[in-house]
Amino acid sequence: MKASAFVYPWDVNGDPEAPDRIAGLGVAQVTLAAAYHSTRALTPRHPAHRVVTAEYAAVLYPPGDRWAGRGLRPYPAGRWAPGNACGRAAEALAGAGLEVHTWVVLAHNSRMGAEHPDTSVVNAYGDRYPWAPCIAQPGTRAYLVDLAAEAAVRPGARGTELESCGWYGLQHLHAHDKTGGVRLGDAGQYLMSLCFCPSCRTGYGEHGLGADALAAAVRTALEPLWRGTAADEGPPTVGKLLGEDTAAAVLAWRERAARTLQEDAVAAVRAAAPAGFQVLLHADPASHHCGANVGVDPAHILSVADGVVVPCTGGTAPLAPFAAQGTDRTVLAANLTVVAGLGGAPGTLAADAARARSEGANELRLYHAGLASDADLAAVREALSSPARHR
């Protein structure tokens, strides 16, 4: 299976050994960040630094003229990725024989939420999530679509992977996060991620729901979870908590907003890209899920994009729903964490890849070449050179 390693520009720029080191892992491709959220990252081998702090969500290249005069526009990166950091890294990686695809994070931007709070998701209690732009708002959607096109189609790139191209919600891993004190479960996370901004309130109305009544119902449904008194009848479902008809109407609105954003974003990328440019989405087959791997309907998303990147670390491999809808040209990439310190298992990469292949994967994504220790990278090299991988 073709393998690609995730990389940040700051892993490469200033380290002349990085491109050959990454190519030496046995990967054919890199997925290089072009637009990325705030983060603090280790750089275990870089000759000039060991920690990089990306202070806010930014594009890692100079933003273009399309943003002139617009209220919502991408922020250029600061000292962690100055100038055309993405372009310099892409050129160096291509020089080592690696195919470069861009990595574009869309609906995850805390600085935008802080400076433009009306763009954020608002939960049923009135709390704003500044890290989560509401994808139903026309202005936010226009920004995300244009960002997708610009950040994806960088010079020399052969394709892109769009992350967070859909709903974001409560689950965020925010700095010094303290939201794990109550076990909300899948249904509780979803209810806490429902948005009640003006655009979403209108959308609920178009599906026969009163927004005030729905917000009250969400708060009522969540109350037993806050108190720790939910009935012990197995994991609660959204249908049980809200009522099946209400839950279906809410999901219909959210699916419509996500689907149309994804259609528009992919279309914009294709319009800006050369022929043969590959467009993938980081995705989850449960359409109500939020986050980096957005919930999608497999049949729909594979009619829009060239394929998906699916999280498969830790024994999970939700690839079968996508495999059932794909063709022989569909990319089904299994995303495997190979950084032991982040919960990955580089020592079992060969077995994990084989398991993913049995579920329908035809490519691998390895997270993350820049964050991994030397021992992690050695395990990756061994796994990718194993004859078992090629069977």
Q: 300 preceded by cis ω (within 30°)?
A: no
| Cβ neighbours of residue 71 closer than 8 Å, sequence gap 6 or more | 116, 139
User: DSSP letter string over 362-374?
Assistant: -EEEEE-TTT--H
Report the distance separating Cα 147 and Cα 366, nearest Å: 25
- Polymer length of the chain: 391
- Angle, helices 138-152 vs 244-272, to 10°: value is 40
Which pLDDT value is given to residue 182? Answer: 77
Position 227 scores a pLDDT of 86
219 lies in a domain? no
Does residue 148 lie in a domain region? Answer: yes
Q: How far is CA 160 from CA 47, 172, 200, in A?
A: 29, 23, 29
Cα 107 to the chain's mean position, in Å? 9
Q: Which position has the token pair 């491709």? A: 29
Taking the alpha carbons at both ends of the chain, their separation in whole angstroms is 9
What sections of the chain are H helices per DSSP? 9-12, 18-23, 85-95, 110-115, 138-152, 185-193, 198-206, 211-227, 238-242, 244-272, 298-304, 320-323, 349-359, 374-385
| Domain contains 213 | no
206, part of any domain: no
Place of tokens 């700095």: 175
Q: Based on the structure, what is the number of domains in the chain?
A: 1
Residue 390 pLDDT? 44
Comparing CA positions, the residue from 224, 278, 337 lying closest to residue 103 is: 278
Any domain includes 239: no
> CA angle, corner 332, sides to 326 and 335, nearest 5?
155
- 325 occurs within a structural domain: yes
pLDDT at 52: 97
Q: Residue 19's pLDDT is what?
A: 98
Instruction: Reduce the secondary structure of 43-55 to three states and give it as a string.
Output: CCCCCCCCEEEEC
| Any domain includes 234 | no
Does residue 189 fall inside a structural domain?
Answer: no
Q: What per-residue confidence (pLDDT) applies to 176?
A: 66
pLDDT at residue 391 in the model: 42
CA separation for the pair 161, 163 (Å, rounded): 6
Phi, psi for residue 145 in degrees, rounded to 5 = -65, -45
CATH of the domain at 40: 3.20.20.80
Q: Which domain holds residue 83?
A: 2-179+255-390
Tokens of 103: 């990595």
Residue 185: its pLDDT value, please? 87
Q: Is the dihedral of CA 80, 86, 88, 92 positive or negative?
A: positive
Q: Is the pTM of this model over 0.85?
A: yes
CA distance 268 to 146: 7
Per-residue pLDDT of the chain (391 residues; tens, 9 = 90+): 999 999 999 999 999 999 999 999 999 999 999 999 999 999 999 999 999 999 999 999 999 999 999 999 999 999 999 999 999 999 999 999 999 999 999 999 999 999 999 999 999 999 999 999 999 999 999 999 999 999 999 999 999 999 999 999 998 766 667 667 778 889 999 999 999 999 999 999 999 999 999 999 999 999 988 888 765 555 678 999 899 999 999 999 999 999 999 999 999 999 999 999 999 999 999 999 999 999 999 999 999 999 999 999 987 779 999 999 999 999 999 999 999 999 999 999 999 999 999 999 999 999 999 999 999 999 999 999 976 544 4
Q: What one-letter code names the amino acid at 309?
A: V
Burial class (CB within 10 angstroms; exposed 0-12, middle 13-18, buried 19+) of 352: buried
Q: Please, which residues have CB within 8 angstroms of residue 313's CB and are 6 or more apart in sequence? A: 335, 336, 337, 343, 344, 345, 352, 367
